[in-house]
Structure 1
Amino acid sequence: MKLAIIGTVGLPAKYGGFETLTEYLTKHLGGKYAITVYCSSKVYAKKLKTYNGARLKYIPLQANGVQSILYDLVSLFSALRYVDTILILGVSGCIVLPLVKAISNKKIIVNIDGLEWKRAKWGKFAKWFLKYSEKLAVNYADTVISDNKVIQQYVRNVYSVDCELIAYGANHTNKEKFTDEVFKQYSFLKDRYAFKVCRIEPENNVHMILEAFSRYPDVNLVMVGNWQKSKYGQDLKGKYAIVKNIHLLNPIYDQHILNQIRSNCYLYIHGHSAGGTNPSLVEAMYLELPIFAYKVNYNKETTACSALYFKDEKELIDMLANTKEEDLSKVARKMKDIADEKYSWEVITNQYASLF
């Protein structure tokens, strides 16, 4: 069976959740199917022909931003010529699915991701377009995948469509001890710290978390993100980088360094308010970290209502001040148990394979 995966930046994975998913789908299933992964030639200076047994095909467009729709469309119509099944990750290219289904009998599987149209970063037209693309994806795909039970229920309630529930794996992450080189580069890591890594966007509640830690100096905060990507990030970095207990780091692309900083934190802070099952959250769970998560249904579902939750600055400060060490240890153990059961790539890839 010939399978194409479209909608990601490409392989090797170095961007986000869909890329990591594609990495492990090809790793576990590359010997079972003839897989083609569409990649952005704008991102990869070195263009591999194959990876994990999959063929890589390059499109000369950016996979994200304003070019993402065209990138998905070009990939989709290319794949229609020779594959049996197409896995589309995200909904932006699904605007043409009525046409695709009219001219082709190829099997179309769509992972609709989170409710992308709800994100604060989009303008009015972009939100309308993404919501409409979501509607077409759900109504015209042969199979729809959601990564979180809350999204699954939303699809059933809004579109009267049953979709498959498949989350993300996390067992690619490993605990790593600090090296002398990392301590030398980031000397503040010798003190107790909370940690957060994310895109610096309003719906990740970065402003709320920074303000809470600025008002509670007893715990350091280390946050990694793309601060220079937007005015929102630039303004926050300008305001909070001078706060003594807050350390704002630019993106870290060395996975070993990132693993060391994340593995050894006193507390993991998860502020995402949009989307479904977030890969960084399940990775933190697998690393057996105590988690304070923003109180939305997506996060509660992912953590089986077993993390600790905050809804505003005051609640976060109260939790920082009053949560006992023994309670943090209990939460950490529970997170690990849940991740071991639900978020392994062996389980996830077998669920996808059953749909192909």
Structure 2
Amino acid sequence: MNMKIAVLGSKSLPAFAGADRVAENILHHLPADDGNRYHIYVVRTPAQPRSFDFAPNLRVIPIPALNGKHSKATSYFFLSALHCAFVLRPDLAHIHDSAFGPFAWILRLFRPRMPILGTFHGNPYERAKWGRFAKWVLRISEGAFIRACHALTTVARAKVADVQSRSKTPIEFIPNGVDPAPPIPQTLLAEKVGLVPGQYLMFAAGRMDPTKGLHHLLDAFDQLKPAFPLLVVGGFEGHNREYSEQLLARCRATNHVLLIPKLLSQPELFELVAGAKLFVFPSEIEAMSMMLLEVISCGVPVLASDIAENTEVTGTDYPWLFRNANPAHLAEKLAQFLRTGPGPEIAALRERCARDFNWTAIAARYLALYRKLAGHP
């Protein structure tokens, strides 16, 4: 029996970062010819003013949202839930953001027989960009999310025990994935900004939150003063305005730092990543980073912090790990890499990720969950 499935919590398609990219990849790797129809909600923009078919089995539904720091997500989630409950009326809803929790109860109230699958993409209240009150609201939202969903998945293994300790809602760990050999487009952006392939270091993040660790990398860069320039890519208009402005000013004042202070399209980002000599990933907190996985899939060496969510991807024996939030050790490992260069461990890591984090297999697990929850064999 064919299913109509709603995907909520994402904000853009094509996706720019994070959980949105996970949702996009799951949808892209689901069977296109099995009769199921997917409807994904996104924030309405001038480029996407009305609903349209993104693929034969995928329809995009733009929803208006206010522009305030907190009101944008709140208004978008509220209107998405109303549209889903009263207009779309799907067989199943898949929600990709625990902050959607209170609005999931709109679906439970008005569509009580519709199963809801929720996916955790991390603990947003751990991010430094949020104030004390916002973190409290996010924790309350997470509790509502757990209770509203009929089943849960998480991209962070540690979240399984956390949820099981306080809820009977079933939860399973399903990692994020990679395409084993992603296409590397030629957008000419690298040439425009004067980059020579293999002759620059790189850092990128969707938003420059303190937990992304760019300040640790800049400390190490100042200490080491390597011969290669550092390319920094990402948005500096985050919620923590003071930190973002200080970090932006520091990047502009640091010698040999090249700055692209905005979100890039995936083709532009992949072109820059593929040309890097080394990608540095100093995050203090992650769930399972799509950025880390995509860098590895491009065959580029990565120097990463040793948090558990990163070693879930790299393995604990990967040689290019540094102690979390430790600029001195980051500088030491960076100097070692520039002195000795990468070895066979880079190709081995790429093979490991292609085997263990395969999007086709991951999408198949989600499809099996959809069928189980909807009662379809």
TM-score after normalising by structure 2: 0.84
Contact 2:118-2:149 at 8 Å conserved across structures: yes
Q: Secondary structure of 1:320's partner? A: helix
Compared CA separation, residues 239 and 22, structure 1 to 2 (3 A): closer
Aligned equivalents of 1:203 and 1:167: distance in 2?
21
Residues 181-200 of structure 1: pairs in structure 2 closer than 5 A: 181-182=188-189, 184-189=191-196, 192-198=199-205, 199-200=207-208
Which residue type is aligned with residue 58 of structure 1? P
Q: Secondary structure of 1:241's partner? A: helix
Aligned equivalents of 1:272 and 1:291: distance in 2?
12
Aligned position for 2:287: 276
Aligned equivalents of 2:163 and 2:341: distance in 1?
36
Aligned position for 1:247: 258
Aligned position for 1:302: 313
Aligned equivalents of 1:243 and 1:273: distance in 2?
22
Q: Secondary structure of 2:176's partner? A: coil
Contact 1:175-1:263 at 8 Å conserved across structures: no
Calculate percent identity across the aligned residue pairs.
Answer: 18
Q: Secondary structure of 2:196's partner? A: helix
Compared CA separation, residues 157 and 266, structure 1 to 2 (3 A): farther
Aligned equivalents of 2:148 and 2:266: distance in 1?
38
Residue by residue, what CA displacement relative to the aligned partner does 1:170-197 show, whole Å, maximum 9, x if unpaired? 2186364878x55542224357322111
Aligned equivalents of 1:256 and 1:97: distance in 2?
34
Aligned equivalents of 1:191 and 1:302: distance in 2?
24
Aligned equivalents of 1:302 and 1:227: distance in 2?
27
Contact 2:203-2:233 at 8 Å conserved across structures: yes
Residue by residue, what CA displacement relative to the aligned partner does 1:232-266 show, whole Å, maximum 9, x if unpaired? 22222212323222222222535443222211212
Aligned equivalents of 1:56 and 1:112: distance in 2?
22
Aligned position for 1:227: 236
Which residue type is aligned with residue 163 of structure 1? I
Contact 1:214-1:245 at 8 Å conserved across structures: no
Question: How much has 1:114 moved relative to structure 2?
Answer: 0.2
Q: Does 1:92 align with 2:99?
A: yes
Contact 1:173-1:283 at 8 Å conserved across structures: no
- Which among 361, 366, 371 is matched to residue 347 of structure 1? 361
Aligned equivalents of 2:109 and 2:266: distance in 1?
44
Which residue type is aligned with residue 268 of structure 2? I
Aligned position for 1:57: 61
Aligned equivalents of 2:224 and 2:168: distance in 1?
46
Aligned equivalents of 2:212 and 2:265: distance in 1?
23
TM-score after normalising by structure 1: 0.89
Q: Does 1:9 align with 2:11?
A: yes
Q: Secondary structure of 1:225's partner? A: strand
Q: Secondary structure of 1:35's partner? A: strand
Q: Secondary structure of 1:189's partner? A: coil
Unmatched tracts of structure 2, length 5 or more: 371-377
Aligned position for 1:67: 72
Aligned equivalents of 1:183 and 1:16: distance in 2?
20
> How many positions carry a matched residue from both structures?
354
Aligned equivalents of 1:115 and 1:43: distance in 2?
31
Compared CA separation, residues 178 and 4, structure 1 to 2 (3 A): closer
Contact 2:101-2:146 at 8 Å conserved across structures: no
Q: Secondary structure of 2:342's partner? A: helix
Residue by residue, what CA displacement relative to the aligned partner does 1:294-322 show, whole Å, maximum 9, x if unpaired? 22221122322235233211010111122
Q: Secondary structure of 1:354's partner? A: helix
Which residue type is aligned with residue 186 of structure 1? V
Q: Does 1:332 align with 2:340?
A: no
Q: Does 1:260 align with 2:271?
A: yes
Aligned equivalents of 1:173 and 1:41: distance in 2?
32
Contact 2:49-2:62 at 8 Å conserved across structures: no
- Which among 183, 199, 210 is matched to residue 202 of structure 1? 210
Aligned equivalents of 1:292 and 1:273: distance in 2?
13
Q: Does 1:288 align with 2:299?
A: yes
Which residue type is aligned with residue 18 of structure 2? G
Q: Secondary structure of 1:37's partner? A: strand
Contact 1:42-1:62 at 8 Å conserved across structures: no
Q: Secondary structure of 1:260's partner? A: helix
